[in-house]
Amino acid sequence: MKKLLIFAVALLLVLAGCSTESNQDKAKKETESKTLTVSAAASLTDVSKALEKEFNKKHPNTHIKFNYGGSGSLRKQVEAGADVDVIMSANTSDVDKLQDNDKVSEVYDYAKNKLIIIKYKNSDIKELRDITSPKKVALGEEKSVPAGHYALEYMKKEDLYEGMTSTFVFAKDVKQVLNYVQKENAEAGFVYETDLYKGKDKKADNVVKLSDAPLNEPIIYRAGLVTDNKEAKEWFDFLKSKEAKEILKEYHFEG
Q: Which of 113, 111, 90, 125 is nearest to 208 (CA)?
A: 125
Q: Is the pLDDT of residue 238 over 50?
A: yes
Options 3.30.1050.10, 3.40.50.720, 1.10.3720.10, 3.40.190.10; CATH for 33-112+219-250 is 3.40.190.10
Over residues 78-128, the pLDDT tens digits come to 999 999 999 999 999 999 999 999 999 999 999 999 999 999 999 999 999
Is there a common fold for 33-112+219-250 and 115-212?
yes
State the DSSP code for 218.
-
| Average pLDDT value over all residues in the chain | 90
CA nearest neighbour of 88 among 99, 102, 76, 74: 74
Backbone phi, then psi, for 246, in 5-degree steps? -65, -40
The C-alpha atoms of residue 185 and residue 167 are separated, in whole angstroms, by: 12
pLDDT in tens, 162-182: 999 999 999 999 999 999 999
Average pLDDT, stretch 198-222? 93
pLDDT of residue 194: 95
Question: Distance of CA 122 to CAs 132, 151, 210, Å?
Answer: 17, 23, 12
> Regarding the domain delimited by 115-212, which CATH topology (the fold level of the hierarchy) does it fall under?
D-Maltodextrin-Binding Protein; domain 2 (3.40.190)
Residue 27 has pLDDT above 50, yes or no: no
Residue 81 CA neighbour count, 13 Å, CB half? 0
pTM of the model: 0.83
pLDDT at 22: 52
Say whether pLDDT at 196 is over 50: yes
Domain boundaries, the chain: 33-112+219-250, 115-212
